[in-house]
Homo-oligomer: A and B are copies of this chain.
Amino acid sequence: MSILAVGSIAFDSIKTPFGERDRVLGGAATYFSLAASFFTDVKVVAVVGGDFNHECERIFLERQIDISEIERIPEGKTFYYSGEYGYDLNVRRTLDTQLNVFANFKPRLSDASRHLPYLFLGNIAPEIQLSVRKQMRNPKLVAMDTMNYWIERTHHSLLEALREIDILIINDSEARELAGEANLIKAARRILTFGPHMIVVKRGEYGAAMFTSDSYFATPAFPLEDVFDPTGAGDGFAGGFMGYLAGTGNMDESALRRAIIYGSVMASFVVEEFGCDRLRRLTYGEIGARFKEFKAITHFEDIEFVHRAL
């Protein structure tokens, strides 16, 4: 089943200890839709400027992502972000942010889009997330991301948006901040009372965890010796997670767990190269092999141990 993905398309200038790249195509909607496109049909809702050229379009079209509802403002410029990672790739320093056309992003969905069954609300202002959510006609599943910026500055509208969604996909530290609770397990339980039926916590190099009111699942991350550029990992994760769920149409516990693993698989590929490079040349064989590797590195046999007699 199809996913509607709403979020940013950006040009990113990224510096890491391993190199730098100027103005590569990025943004939450880009990473999400590329990752999800391996599993299901995806339509992107975003806004771009005149600098979004055919080469940019091609990155979406070669994965048959529907870009017909990307709003184009020829006289404007696409959202621009510049950041730098140190050797601790968990910490990013922002050098420059130019919202450009993104500053006035007010998506109006087509009638066809309103009837799509899966909705992903990338990390944008909660009022926009809520407005998009309200335009949808009875979606089967709605997931959203957010970040510390919105938690701190638009707390009230963020809580409003949370009441209208099914799954919150959020970073570890941001889950703690949102809940005002240092213990992650307690933080997730508290966020569950805000509206979502499920919290998916992204923990970077430590993996991911999934909480509902009556279940818990966690996985370590795929062990990578070479993380080139962490940009987009979280959105690639969300794309793999939701793409798999939409692709199967199934949402039982067993499918949700596999979705967490496919999310982790896609995130692990995203960070192996700069920007979208790795996703563009990714194959189904590679995805399937890494899924199996996840099983190989996390499963263990349950054999009764012999108690020591005292």
Q: Which residues of A contact B (CB under 8 A)?
A: 37-41, 63-64, 87-89, 182-186, 189, 203, 205-207, 209, 216-220, 223-227, 244, 247-248, 254, 257-258, 260-262, 284, 288, 291-292, 295, 297-308, 310
Nearest to A40 among chain B residues (CB) is B308
Number of copies: 2
By CB atoms of chain B within 10 A, which of A209, A262, A299 has the most? Answer: A299
Let me know if B209 and A63 touch, CB within 8 A: no
Given contacts A38-B308, A183-B226, A299-B299, 10 further A-B contacts (CB under 8 A): A37-B308, A185-B223, A185-B225, A206-B207, A206-B220, A217-B297, A217-B298, A261-B300, A284-B307, A291-B302
Q: Which residues on B sit within 8 Å (CB–CB) of A258?
A: 300-303, 305
Let me know if B183 and A248 touch, CB within 8 A: no
| A-B CB contact pairs (8 Å), 19 listed | A38-B307, A39-B305, A63-B310, A183-B224, A185-B223, A186-B225, A206-B206, A216-B223, A217-B298, A218-B220, A218-B297, A244-B305, A247-B305, A248-B306, A254-B301, A258-B302, A261-B300, A291-B302, A295-B302
Which of the residues B182, B209, B307 comes within 8 Å of A220, measured between beta carbons? Answer: B209
